[in-house]
Amino acid sequence: MSLTTPRAGASASPLASSLTKVTMPALTEMKRQGKPISALTAYDYATARLADEAGIDLLLVGDSLAMVVMGHDNTLAVTVDEMLHHTRAVRRAVRRALVVADMPFGSYHGTVAEGVANAVRFVKEAGAEAVKIEGPRFELVEALTEAEIPVVGHLGLTPQSVNRMGGYRVQAKTAEAVRKLTADAMALAHAGAGLIVLEGVPREAAAQITARLPVPTIGIGAGPDCDGQILVFHDLVNLTFAPAAKFVRRYADAGALFRSAIERYREDVEHRAFPADAESYHLSEGERRGLGLEPERETDEADAVVNRDAQEWGS
């Protein structure tokens, strides 16, 4: 092994500095130390970069992108190639967070060998550092672990099972179901899963599983007692078009912000108020004269680049 290009701030000790790369073992260490793990979905370069720079520990390229980015009614339609495309964009943005790719519906529901082959693509072709799979698939988790691919399990309300569940419903609502969920979580950890997402389960169930499990739990609609929390980015900033679920907290109204910015832009275009002269490039005085144009401007300072990419867009 040869470490030829370590990132600035890289260090041998997990959690030693804010730029230390987050790894699966570092997340287990956070559980041991009682430090809450922050996780968020990300699907593109800009938002992944913002989330990474804000110190989010884990970024999941969730198959929820089928709904919030692609506009499907559920997560079932998104393909491996589409997930790879988004995972690559996120990977390019991230320096610190652990990048986890969601395996889409159909990519691990056949043979174990097919599941492993698809998971390898996420690591090899997109730079994912772990893959997430839904349901109690112990044999597959063992095979992925054997293939050196870290696994995030996902139990409770598993959206890829929407047709079997008959909708998105809170799971494990009886003592017997909580016992089964706990046994599944323990078996997934035993098979090698390094992290388990618990979605849409009663707080009491998540608390019991979190207390028993040797690996961290990340909750979404599973109450505050998990080792960490995850939300869908578009829910967090209100870029969705439906009422929020009970467990969602909106931290910003990007929908309203974007809508107003876009409307103001349209009005400016319609009233010829955009672009202004100061937002335009100009010929030099000499060239203006050559075209028989009046000298209108004192200097060429107004050509100063207003764009962020001075190199590319210099006048």
Single out the residue of 52, 63, 129, 227 in contact with ligand KIV (rule: CB under 6 A). Answer: 63
Q: Which is nearer to ligand KIV, 191 or 231 (CB)?
A: 231
Interaction of residue 235 with ligand KIV, rule CB under 6 A: no
Interface of this chain with ligand KIV, residues 164 to 203, rule: CB under 6 A: 197, 199
Q: In sequence order, what DSSP letters do the residues of 227-238 get, joined into one string?
A: SEEEE-HHHHTT
- Are the C-beta atoms of residues 172 and 202 closer than 8 Å to each other? yes
User: Is 199 labeled as catalytic in the residue annotation?
Assistant: yes
Instruction: Give the three-state DSSP class for 39.
Output: strand
CB atoms within 10 A of CB 1: 2
Closest Cα to residue 23, out of 35, 36, 34, 12? 12
Cα–Cα dist 90/60, whole Å: 9
- Residue of this chain nearest to ligand KIV (CB atom): 62
Cα–Cα dist 30/42, whole Å: 22
**Count of residues that interact with ligand KIV, criterion CB under 6 A:** 11
Q: Which residues contact 174 (CB under 8 A, 6 or more apart)?
A: none
Interaction of residue 83 with ligand KIV, rule CB under 6 A: no
Q: Which is nearer to ligand KIV, 243 or 295 (CB)?
A: 243
Closest Cα to residue 152, out of 134, 138, 132, 177? 132
Binding segment toward ligand KIV, per CB under 6 A, in 60-68, 77-85, 116-124, 202-210: 60-68
- Interhelix angle 175-191/203-212, rounded to 10 degrees, is 40
Tell whether omega for the bond before 275 is within 30 degrees of 0, i.e. cis: yes
Single out the residue of 130, 143, 230, 236 in contact with ligand KIV (rule: CB under 6 A). Answer: 230
Q: Which is nearer to ligand KIV, 123 or 198 (CB)?
A: 198
Q: Which is nearer to ligand KIV, 80 or 273 (CB)?
A: 80
Interface of this chain with ligand KIV, residues 29 to 58, rule: CB under 6 A: 41
Interaction of residue 220 with ligand KIV, rule CB under 6 A: yes
Given 29, 199, 204, 263, which residue is catalytic? Answer: 199
Binding segment toward ligand KIV, per CB under 6 A, in 62-70, 116-124, 237-245, 300-308: 62-70
Sign of CA pseudo-dihedral 142, 137, 83, 236? negative
What string marks each residue from 85 to 104 as x (binds ligand KIV by CB under 6 A) or -? -----------------x--
Q: Which is nearer to ligand KIV, 82 or 303 (CB)?
A: 82
Interaction of residue 216 with ligand KIV, rule CB under 6 A: no
Q: Which residues are catalytic?
A: 199
